Amino acid sequence: MAIFRNGTVLDHDSWTVVAAGAPVPAEGDIIIALADFIAQRDALLGRVGPVGVAVEAGEELDDIVGDLPRLVLVALRFPKYTDGRSYSKARLLRERHRYGGELRAVGDVLHDQIPLMLRCGFDSLEVTHEPTLRALREGRVRGVTVHYQTSAREGREAAPNPARRWLRAS
């Protein structure tokens, strides 16, 4: 497993994933399941170390929306790469709720979906698939770089033709 962040594959990650229902370590960066976060919200937000929340594909964002400014990381799961719910949730976090922390795609993260994930606002990816990691390391994950829609990357994509207002190039 490795983390792809800001264009680089990192073999070490500061975040520890706390198993569902397991005790929360006092120190360190932790990612905690949504249900556990809700149950221990006050204690977690009073904790010294950074807290991230992992949201499953079928879970709603409602319970974390108010706490987003204090969440350093949100992880959205792709249980199968064909399950596209987390794309919509990523956009909602970035564009509606103005979430500015790290937005991580976890689960079945593969080569050909990565360009879409990045456009929907993910800025880190947890990757286990070896050929995908290789392609990321070699800079082969490009996708199509011109787009017919704006995305969660407004400001970081060029608008090549002002007459066609929604065209973008990454």
Partner 1 sequence: MYRYDEFDRRFVEERVAEFSDQVARRLSGELSEDQFKPLRLMNGVYLQLHAYMLRIAIPYGTLSSRQLRKLAFIARTYDRGYGHFTTRQNMQLNWIALKDVPEILGHLADVEMHCLQTSGNCIRNVTADQFSGAAADEIADPRPYAEILRQWSSIHPEFTYLPRKFKLAVTGAPNDRAAIQVHDIGLELRRGEAGEIGFAVYVGGGQGRTPMVARKVRDFLPEAELLAYCTAILRVYNLYGRRDNKFKARIKILVHETGIEELKRDIEAEYEALRAENETLSVPAEEIARISAYFAPPAFESLPERSAAFETALLRDPDFARFVERNLVRHKQQGYAALTISLKPIGLPPGDASSSQMEAIADIAERWSFDEIRVSHEQNLVLPHVRLDDVPLVFAELQRNGLAESNAGLVTDIIACPGLDYCSLANARSIPIAQRISERFADPARQREIGDLKLKISGCINACGHHHVGHIGILGVERKGEEFYQITLGGTGDETCSIGEIVGKGFSSAEIVDAVETVIDTYLALRTGPDETFLQAFRRLGEAPFVEALYPAKAA
- Chain residues binding partner 1 by CB under 8 A are 81-85, 87-89, 91, 95-96, 110-113, 115-116, 119-120, 131, 140, 142-151, 160-161, 163-167
Rounded least distance, CB 142 to partner 1, Å? 8
Nearer to partner 1 (CB atom), residue 72 or residue 116: 116
Q: Tell me the backbone φ, ψ of residue 31, rounded to 5 degrees.
A: -110, 125
Nearer to partner 1 (CB atom), residue 48 or residue 163: 163
Nearer to partner 1 (CB atom), residue 52 or residue 121: 121
Rounded least distance, CB 117 to partner 1, Å? 8
Nearer to partner 1 (CB atom), residue 140 or residue 156: 140
Helix (H) or strand (E) holding 90: helix 85-91
39 to each of 28, 36, 54, 63, 159, how far by Cα in Å? 20, 5, 14, 11, 44
Rounded least distance, CB 69 to partner 1, Å? 18
The answer to whether 90 and 61 have CB atoms below 8 angstroms apart is no
Question: How many angstroms separate the CA atoms of 77 and 8, rounded?
Answer: 21
Q: Which two tokens stand for residue 141?
A: 């994950």
Rounded least distance, CB 110 to partner 1, Å? 6
Report the number of secondary-structure helices (H) and strands (E) in the chain.
6, 10
